[in-house]
Chain A
Amino acid sequence: MPRNSIENEFCLDDRLMLQCQKGEAEAFNQIVQRHRTALVTFIARLLGDRETAEDLAQESLLRMYRAANRYKAEGSTKFTTWMYHIASNLCKNELRNRNRRQRHFMVQTDDQLRLDQDLIATAPADPALQPDQQLVKKEQQSAVQNAISLLPETYRLPLVLRDIQGLSYNQVSATLKLPLGTVKSRINRARLMLKDLLKPVVSPTER
């Protein structure tokens, strides 16, 4: 996407938030339509659970709506980082609660057992691929989703923001309130872990 177009997109979010602050309900509906898929994707990839992802995406949007009056439009990438910051905090809480539940009951939770099944099932099939190729691709996606879920939270968050949501290093740094160097090193470390986890699935000879 050209740079001017990206800046216009960010300015549009700011304009919509200003309209929302003036009480125009339709402006917030537009924000929901623009960002709901990104939010659900982000949370679902992070948690590996679609149902919880939808709940938390709705909760994120509700929090944004309630905090709309405190939002200060500063152009650039402020809106995106603000949105992902709210969603990240909710995800951190959810992951912490899951860890606590796991420690208490010493069993896998239902969320983990149904990990990625519905995420892979709903992925649109690529019409250019043969059925067996589609199957292989879905298995690979399933393996990638499982590998993400095995990463520690501190590495998973920046990795998903960078490689799935496509944020820049600076945006990830602003979203997670971490120094740029820390973000870069965590993303590299996360990618190395992912490489080791995906060794049996990803073959370098595919190039």
Chain B
Amino acid sequence: MSCTTIEDNFSDYLEDSLPAKLRQSVADHLRSCPNCQREFDLFQQSVSALQQLPEIEPSAFFDTDLQIQLALTEMMPPPERVPILDQVGGKFWQLIGSWRWVVSTVLAFVVIAVYLMATRIDVVLVSSSEKQSNPQVQSIEKRDLVDEDSDSFPFSSDSMFDPAVEIQQNYVFPTVTYSALSTGGRL
């Protein structure tokens, strides 16, 4: 046994709770190493000094103070602590009993999952409905088709007679095309 590990066994050695073989090796080491023997003596003295500390008697007012506080407790019993789940769910949680935390955790996960799915669906719906409802996007797509097929005049016949739409189309055209390219069709 080395000097560094012997300290780990000081308490067990002092209280005589080491297995016989280990106890013998600790005793052998202490006999052969004066430094460790001195440390163990200090250890023993410290524990002894600690155990000899006297008891501390409560003051003369301790009982009186306590009786007053007990009487106050009797007069004003503390409000019954209702668990937060019982406050929220009432009888439902009481019926579930000890499974309440499992059930509440599962419910929490379900709520989170539903929320995530809803937001995901929302994004998909918005991106697809925008295509359907936004005439500018449709017209841009038409224009793309026209551009691919031929070099003829790009605007549809409906918008040709409305100058305002035409201006808006020209304004929106590069933005939508750019975002459609970079996000793969989603806004």
Answer whether residue A109 sits at the interface, using C-beta atoms and an 8 A cutoff: no
Answer whether residue A124 sits at the interface, using C-beta atoms and an 8 A cutoff: yes
Answer whether residue A191 sits at the interface, using C-beta atoms and an 8 A cutoff: yes
CA distance A203 to B12 in the complex (A): 22
Whether the Cβ atoms of A202 and B45 lie closer than 8 Å is yes
Answer whether residue A206 sits at the interface, using C-beta atoms and an 8 A cutoff: yes
Q: A32-B63, A199-B42, A202-B45 are in contact. Are A37 and B69 (CB under 8 A)?
A: no
Q: A66-B78, A145-B53 are in contact. Are A61 and B66 (CB under 8 A)?
A: yes
With an 8 Å Cβ cutoff, the count of chain B residues facing the other chain is 32
Q: Which residues of B contact A199 (CB under 8 A)?
A: 42
Which DSSP category, helix, strand, loop or mixed, fits chain A's interface? helix
Answer whether residue A123 sits at the interface, using C-beta atoms and an 8 A cutoff: yes
Whether the Cβ atoms of A202 and B56 lie closer than 8 Å is no
Closest Cβ–Cβ distance, residue A40 to chain B (whole Å): 5
| Stretch of A1-9, A52-60, A80-88, A92-100 with 4 or more beta carbons under 8 angstroms from chain B | A52-60
Whether the Cβ atoms of B11 and A194 lie closer than 8 Å is no
Closest Cβ–Cβ distance, residue A180 to chain B (whole Å): 12
With an 8 Å Cβ cutoff, the count of chain A residues facing the other chain is 46
| A-B contact sample (13 more), CB < 8 A, given A40-B56, A54-B59 | A41-B56, A61-B66, A62-B69, A65-B73, A66-B78, A141-B49, A144-B53, A163-B50, A163-B51, A191-B50, A194-B50, A198-B45, A207-B41
What are 21 contact pairs spanning A and B, CB under 8 A? A40-B56, A40-B57, A41-B55, A44-B56, A54-B58, A54-B62, A57-B58, A58-B65, A58-B66, A65-B70, A141-B49, A144-B49, A148-B50, A159-B50, A163-B51, A188-B11, A192-B7, A195-B42, A198-B46, A203-B45, A206-B45
Interface residues of B, Cβ cutoff 8 Å to A: 7-8, 10-12, 38-39, 41-47, 49-51, 53-59, 62-63, 65-66, 69-70, 73, 78
